[in-house]
């Protein structure tokens, strides 16, 4: 889809997508559509479903990391900007979001066992352990 996104206080935001959503809310809720996903779109959706749970903070963190990764080449700059604009999100949550973004962006064959172990390690650390 051709929606453009900008940074917003709770993640990324698309005015056009919001307009479409609110203008078609009943259709959206009832899933009344003629639109069908092609195989590539289904694969992308399945990938997001397998990586993301529906925790609001995590969704906000992942969308913010993905947005800032487009703005900054250096991960340290991504994390610094993230902390600046979203101080309510912990370092652990930022790292989990960054690892989720890796999982979403990389082809399955690039997710080595070492990367998977690192992702699992970050996700298993309690919030109080990393600052």
Alpha-carbon span 28 to 72, nearest angstrom: 34
pTM of the shown model: 0.64
Question: Which DSSP category does 127 fall into?
Answer: G
Give CA separation, 74 vs 49, 59, 68, 79, 81, in Å: 27, 22, 10, 9, 11
Q: Is residue 19 domain-shared with residue 81, that is, in the same domain?
A: no
What are 66-117's pLDDT values in tens digits?
888 888 888 889 889 999 999 999 888 888 888 888 878 766 655 667 777 7
Residue span of the structural domain in which 20 resides: 1-35
Q: Is residue 29 domain-shared with residue 47, that is, in the same domain?
A: no
Residues above pLDDT 90, as percent of the chain: 5
Q: Is residue 55 domain-shared with residue 25, that is, in the same domain?
A: no
Q: Is residue 62 domain-shared with residue 89, that is, in the same domain?
A: yes
Closest CA to 78 of 97, 59, 55: 97
Q: Is residue 11 within 8 Å of 57, Cβ to Cβ?
A: no
Specify the pLDDT at position 105. 76
Q: Is residue 70 domain-shared with residue 123, that is, in the same domain?
A: yes
Number of structural domains (the chain) is 2
Q: Is residue 87 domain-shared with residue 73, that is, in the same domain?
A: yes
Q: Is residue 13 within 8 Å of 5, Cβ to Cβ?
A: yes
Q: Is residue 52 domain-shared with residue 105, that is, in the same domain?
A: yes
Q: Is residue 82 domain-shared with residue 109, that is, in the same domain?
A: yes
Q: Is residue 20 domain-shared with residue 41, that is, in the same domain?
A: no
């Amino acid at each position: 889809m051709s929606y453009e996104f900008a940074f917003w206080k709770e993640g990324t935001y698309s005015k056009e997508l919001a307009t479409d959503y609110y203008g078609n809310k009943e259709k959206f809720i009832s899933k009344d559509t003629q639109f069908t996903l092609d195989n590539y779109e289904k694969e992308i959706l399945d990938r997001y479903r397998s990586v993301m749970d529906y925790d609001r903070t995590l969704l906000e963190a992942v969308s913010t990391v993905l947005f800032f990764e487009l703005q900054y080449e250096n991960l340290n700059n991504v994390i610094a900007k993230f902390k600046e604009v979203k101080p309510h999100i912990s370092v652990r949550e930022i790292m989990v979001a960054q690892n989720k973004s890796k999982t979403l962006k990389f082809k399955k064959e690039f997710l080595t066992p070492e990367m998977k172990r690192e992702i699992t390690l970050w996700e298993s650390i309690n919030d109080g352990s990393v600052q």
